[in-house]
Copies of this chain bind each other. A is one copy, B any other.
Amino acid sequence: MDILSIKETDIYQIVEGRKQRESDDFQQVDQRVEEIVKRIRSEGEKAVLQYVKELDGVELNSLHVTKQEVEEAFNSVKEELSEILQEAKNNIESYHQHQKEQSWYTNQQPGIWLGQQVTPIERVGVYVPGGKAAYPSTVLMNVIPAKVAGVEEIIVTTPVGEDRKVNPLTIVAATIAGADQILKVGGAHGIATLAYGTENFKAVNKITGPGNAYVARAKKYVFGDVGIDMIAGPSEVCILADENAYSEYVAADLLAQAEHDELASAILVTDSHQLATQVQKALKEQMEGLNRQSILQHSILNQSAIYVVTNMDVGFQLVNELAPEHLELLVDQPFEQLSRIKNAGAIFLGEYSPEPLGDYWAGPNHTLPTSGTAKFSSPLGVYDFMKKSSVIYYDQKALNSVGGKIQRFANEEGLDGHAASIRKRLKKMLDIFSN
């Protein structure tokens, strides 16, 4: 990995250079997605089962994971592992409880009540990638905030393996997290099933969770009919470190990020040439001991960088412009520096808070804004599973005292029907007074 020297005036160019625009080459995927969604919308479960056969290569009789399959899953997963999932669940739940919003109402002027009613979304679908691998952390991070929000029904959907079964760890995680149903459908057909339902399954109101290009494009396609979470780009870490940071940790954390996939990016920003050189060396050494060699080669060589900045002020500026998904703050007194961070999905403070601690354990959500979108968006949270309604009450006297001004405003925008709706109420009141 190259070491690049950076001064303040270089920041703009670096950030622009790193911006990855979504490829426009989704035509074929989009065409197929549209076909799948339309057919499932019109033909229902029959079509879903046919797509599972055609695309996943297995024949199913029913889309639903049965109680017996849940039992079997718990029996096949070691108790120690279930307990780890349960403990992670408790941490995630405890953190997300803080995000729960309450309705509020005010009555600051006589005859006027204003407020905001906060209610959970009724039905939510969670997409979980599957097949051979299991992603229990994805299950926990999506289902738990929905559960905390008070969502009535949470449905997990995930592709089955060749044995026609959902990975047992996914089932155990979904059950521990409190999902109400598990469906055996992956891909665009999974998203279509969630969004429009079938004879045997009622459509959801919102879909969250990661997936491949078909899943991502299908989510985009159904958006509007249902809500979706943000469509995530490749994962990233940025480590802002001063001369006292321990190079072995920095290298390990860069590699942990880089192993996700070939497009993952791992960036070190430091004011220390010495640290940069040590990290470069440690990366090479540590990489040899890891399993995902070919992915690491790609992501470390093509997507990653070490930036040596002229001073830490420039470092903070660069970090805020990059707006990384994950930020490790390996600096002296990280709590004191926290408020200098404006844009980041999750911020890890100090040398004993490595990024994987957040992926699995600490409690905050691991679904985070990528590709600089932390400048305007937030981690997945309880707020993504609730919605607000404004509430307005004026009594007769309150409306009467301002009705003239509202009519004036409405007429100024050329909407005399709006003015009339107010005027009629005032008129009637005058009638009342005159009788």
Instruction: Name A residues whose Cβ lies closer than 8 Å to a Cβ of B.
Output: 19, 21-22, 80-81, 84-85, 87-88, 94-95, 98-99, 104, 106, 108, 112-114, 116-117, 119, 121-122, 133-137, 169, 205-206, 224-227, 246, 248-249, 252-253, 255-256, 258-260, 286, 289-292, 296, 334-335, 338-339, 341-365, 368-369, 371, 373-379, 381, 383, 387-396, 398-399, 402, 405-406, 408-410, 412-422, 424-425, 428
Contact = CB atoms under 8 A, between A and B. Distances in A.
Given A350-B393, A392-B362, A405-B361, A99 B84 contact: no
Nearest to A295: B417
Nearest to A140: B409
B348 A392 contact: yes
Contacts of A388: 378-379, 381
Contact of A373 (B135, B227, B255): B227
A434 to B, nearest CB: 17
A32 B249 CA distance: 50
Contacts of A368: 390
A291 B353 contact: no
Contacts of A374: 387, 389
Contacts of A134: 412-413
Contact of A392 (B358, B387, B408): B358
Contact of A255 (B112, B349, B399, B421): B421
Contacts of A137: 409, 413
Given A392-B347, A417-B255, A422-B357, A224 B373 contact: yes
A118 to B, nearest CB: 9
9 contacts: A117-B339, A122-B343, A136-B409, A136-B412, A343-B387, A353-B394, A357-B392, A365-B390, A378-B389
A224 B22 contact: yes
B121 A99 contact: no
A53 to B, nearest CB: 28
Contacts of A292: 415-417
A206 B394 CA distance: 34
A166 to B, nearest CB: 16
